[in-house]
Amino acid sequence: MGQTLAQKVYEEHVVRRTEGEPDLLYIDLHLVHEVTSPQAFDGLRAAGRTVRRPDLTMATEDHNVPTLDILSPIADPVSRAQVDALRRNAAEFGIRLAPMGDRDQGIVHVIGPQLGLTQPGMTIVCGDSHTSTHGAFGALAFGIGTSEVEHVLATQTLPQYPAKQMSVTVDGELPPGVSAKDVILAVIAEIGTGGGQGHVIEYRGSAIEALSMEARMTICNMSIEAGARAGLIAPDQTTFDYLAGRPHAPQGADWDAAVAHWSTLRTDDDAVFDREVRIDAASLTPYVTWGTNPGQGLPIGASVPDPAGIADESDRLAAESALEYMGLTAGTPLRDISVDTVFLGSCTNGRIEDLRVAAALLKGKKVDAETRMLVVPGSVAVKLQAEAEGLDQVFTEAGAEWRGAGCSMCLGMNPDQLKPGERSASTSNRNFQGRQGKGGRTHLVSPAVAAATALTGKLTAPADLETAGV
């Protein structure tokens, strides 16, 4: 029987396999940020251990960083102490760090690909669940907890068991205005937040192959929201073109050897998936979430669902509590929901293509007077690129706020937060209760829907703008 792409990558990294024990898996790249690492470094110190491979480790500051006034010390003393701890740890253990103000700083999942450190066929981990983003390159990339961060720092390996294999095939052509974000929100709505549990998802099909690398990252990023351990896409010419010439991409003969190997990283025709899901790209429309988990999403043309119509008891209770928290009434058309804030950014949708899509819709127009729009590039490099293209001016002339790079309002560990009761349309990945600020209410959307919503103040698809006369 053939192997899936994920199985091939996994098998290439098995250091040790013994009956009755987990496999020991080698880790090619360990990304580190300030939130999930301090206790791991303390553990190393307490045991007198060192970092085995500083050269396969890369740290940055992203979760806590303010997006205004970034060259001053962080005002919040607790955030500052955490960032300072990372700086001390990186210096003590010889780890490369891209601190605030550095050209390479940014959200950990944006800078890895940008630097060319993320490559096909690698194993990549980070103390962050959205590490699945790197699967867009055909890497096996997954989030880990702090104990495992310590384990990887010390040994460059992790004990692992092989995952089950799932395929999500998206064939056909996406309609105009429908993006990778809508695809993944539709997938999660279909299989649920636990649908991928225990599985690695491989996204395949003509609609996936047609996507840019950045769009593929958006899809793989939210694999965790479907409960999957990782998500990945077979590398192809699009992948190689993206990587060529990046700072840490192989060069010369190394490039040729790498591409030759990367080209073998495809699921065999006779490989068997444990579960297969098929989605018709042409049937998709922009998706938005109405509830408090990412599986509670619907096409934007739908209405807030009536929990009474949900057969499964725990789903019904979850829907009831979600509507109460979200302050929504069953039957309300999603397009009638007004928002206070639009957040464009995050490791899901904070890359240059996301900003371009939004800027194209906002150009020459004004953000609704009652709505605040925050634009937070995923990295300093994205910010500089956007500024070189004049996108920052488009945003500020439209009345949006142009900020520094970081995780920002995706999880509100910095000052960018919703106030209690405030409602956002957000291009981030989680609509959990209080995620963007205590009492805040989040609707997950694509960058295009975010921009259209900013213009009208209500959840809006880009195609609605013409009808609305905006």
Q: Which one, 55 or 173, has the nearer CB to another protein?
A: 55
Give CA–CA dist 232/134, Å, rounded.
8
Residue of 341, 314, 267, 316 whose CA lies nearest to 6: 267
Element (H, E) at 230: strand 230-232
- Rounded to a whole number of angstroms, the minimum distance from the CB of residue 388 to another protein is 13
- Rounded to a whole number of angstroms, the minimum distance from the CB of residue 68 to another protein is 18
Q: Which one, 113 or 457, has the nearer CB to another protein?
A: 113
Q: Which one, 36 or 460, has the nearer CB to another protein?
A: 36
- Rounded to a whole number of angstroms, the minimum distance from the CB of residue 126 to another protein is 8
Element (H, E) at 165: strand 164-171
Residue of 324, 230, 318, 300 whose CA lies nearest to 444: 300
Q: Which one, 122 or 183, has the nearer CB to another protein?
A: 122
Give CA–CA dist 279/200, Å, rounded.
17
Q: Which one, 133 or 456, has the nearer CB to another protein?
A: 133
- Rounded to a whole number of angstroms, the minimum distance from the CB of residue 248 to another protein is 5
- Rounded to a whole number of angstroms, the minimum distance from the CB of residue 168 to another protein is 17
Work out the angle between the directed axes of helices 352-362 and 380-388 (0-180°, nearest 10). 40
DSSP string, 282-334: GG---EEE-SSSTT-EEETTSB---GGG--SHHHHHHHHHHHHHHT--TT-BG
Q: Which one, 57 or 349, has the nearer CB to another protein?
A: 57
Residue of 354, 341, 363 whose CA lies nearest to 458: 341
At which residue do the structure tokens 């937070």 appear?
A: 376
Q: Which two tokens stand for residue 233?
A: 């896409």
CB 3 within 8 A of CB 272: no
Q: Which one, 108 or 451, has the nearer CB to another protein?
A: 108
For residue 21, how far is the Cα from the chain centroid?
32
- Rounded to a whole number of angstroms, the minimum distance from the CB of residue 49 to another protein is 7
- Rounded to a whole number of angstroms, the minimum distance from the CB of residue 422 to another protein is 15
- Rounded to a whole number of angstroms, the minimum distance from the CB of residue 145 to another protein is 4
Q: Which one, 31 or 367, has the nearer CB to another protein?
A: 31
Give CA–CA dist 424/442, Å, rounded.
5
Work out the angle between the directed axes of helices 38-47 and 146-155 (0-180°, nearest 10). 50
